[in-house]
Amino acid sequence: MAIPDLGELLADGIRGRRVFVRADLNVPLRGDAVADDTRIRASLPTLHRLLDAGARVVVASHLGRPKGRRRPELSLRPVAPRLAQLLGTGVSFCPECVGERAAAAVAELGEGELLLLENLRFHAGEEENDADFARALADLADAYVNDAFGTAHRAHASTVGIAACVERKAGGDLLKSELEHLRGIREPVRPLLVILGGAKVSDKLAVLEALAPHADTLAIGGAMAYTFLASGGRRVGASLVEADRFADARRVTLAARATGRRLLLPSDHLAVERVEAGAPTRVVREIPDGWIGVDIGPETARDYAREAGEAKTLFWNGPMGIFETREFAAGTETVATGVAQSPAYSVVGGGDSVAAINQLGLGPQISYLSTGGGASLEYIQGLALPGVEALSR
């Protein structure tokens, strides 16, 4: 699907115009500071181009899940100084995103200046794609740019509703880049290896069903692997299991086999009696009663890393265990290293997977680090993204 390009918008002339940029600045905070600025950095190319063209740039984003309530700990205010530092220019902050106060702040912007609005999701109308809220956002704009690929799969006021209210619109550099790189997973050079982790089969059932017959090899880790193993009669102790998803797990397995694809499950596990730092661990083939799987075992980690080395296209989403706890991170780290060392075209998506790559300093060895977790999963399934479709109308 062809969407208006940012270059076309710039060519039409935007000096002195108000350009509303939906960015994805949903970054982790540690107190009043940004803990990981990956998503802020990803937004910089589009913002630089607009500022250099003399636009009056109005940036909006969400942060966390405030569910329509004003929650001070989810304010975007701490993002403003980090954004200013990375841009190398001043950034104003408005504690509202619509209404008179926001309008006044936008009116004060000069050419080549930038304003960051408060968290969009402090208003219930954002996630509801409320028409009045969308029009209130559009009142702040002469042109609209969507550069938030991470929310492009959501039909929200700032991703869909506003686009219907603003005539001049375009996809930002990050949005276009994400679509281009993820197209390489949808239309891969084979063999294609997909590594999926995470907690629950229910969270990724649709992508599992879509990728089981598409990927040449689908390797599963994380807690959702225990549902697959238990559905086949394997002992998983007290590990997280969704018994109501056994039929789904069997269906995914059969779909892979029916098309000659390979579905890999962990052959060994790191298990504990208590999920806490410092707890004694055991590497086991089957998890004993009362014990809990917290990571794939070393044999599985080596197997998955070896698979990565043999692939020509590779997509990884989701950690292999509770990698936030140092003692349970070895499986994720081994897989991350295997992905980084692979000669394959590699895309890593999802906040936890990207965090693991960055923590190990492996980012430069990955072909593309996607800022979209759910959005990237939906796109490689072949699903339409509402935020992208809205730009072409």
Q: In the chain, pLDDT over 90 holds for what percent of residues?
A: 86
Active site residue 338: no
The architecture in CATH of the region 6-178 reads: 3-Layer(aba) Sandwich (3.40)
pLDDT at 294: 97
* pLDDT on residue 1: 61
Residue type, 332: T
* Rounded CA separation 383/386 (Å): 9
The active-site residue out of 82, 200, 234, 262 is: 200
DSSP calls for 253-272: HHHHHHTT-EEE--SSEEEE
According to the model, what pLDDT value does residue 315 have? 96
pLDDT tens track for 87-133:
999 999 999 999 999 999 999 999 999 999 999 999 999 999 999 99
Check if 6-178 and 188-380 are the same fold: yes
Active site residue 200: yes
CATH code of the domain made up of 188-380? 3.40.50.1260
- Judged against a pLDDT cut of 90, whether residue 351 lies above it is answered with no
- The Cα 220–Cα 246 span in angstroms is 15
Q: Which of 125, 150, 161, 374 is catalytic?
A: 374
Of the candidates 306, 325, 308, 225, which has an alpha carbon nearest to the alpha carbon of residue 266?
225
121: DSSP letter: G
Is 82 designated active site? no
For helices 173-186 and 38-52, angle between their N-to-C axes, nearest 10 degrees: 130
Burial of 247 (0-12, 13-18, 19+ CB in 10 A): exposed
Task: Read off the pLDDT of residues 196-241 as tens digits, 9 standing for 90 and up.
Answer: 998 888 888 888 988 888 999 999 999 999 999 999 999 999 999 9
- List, for residues 275-319, the tens digit of each pLDDT value: 999 999 999 999 999 999 999 999 999 999 999 999 999 999 999
Of the candidates 296, 307, 205, 322, the residue with the CA atom closest to the CA atom of residue 252: 205
Half-sphere exposure of 265 (CA within 13 A, CB side): 19
Q: Which of 125, 198, 351, 372 is catalytic?
A: 351
374 is catalytic: yes
| pLDDT tier at 11, thresholds 50, 70, 90 | very high
Query: What integer is the mean pLDDT of 360-377?
Result: 91
Least confident of 76-85, 148-157, 328-337, 368-377: 368-377
d(CA 330, CA 296): 8
Domain boundaries defined on the chain: 6-178, 188-380
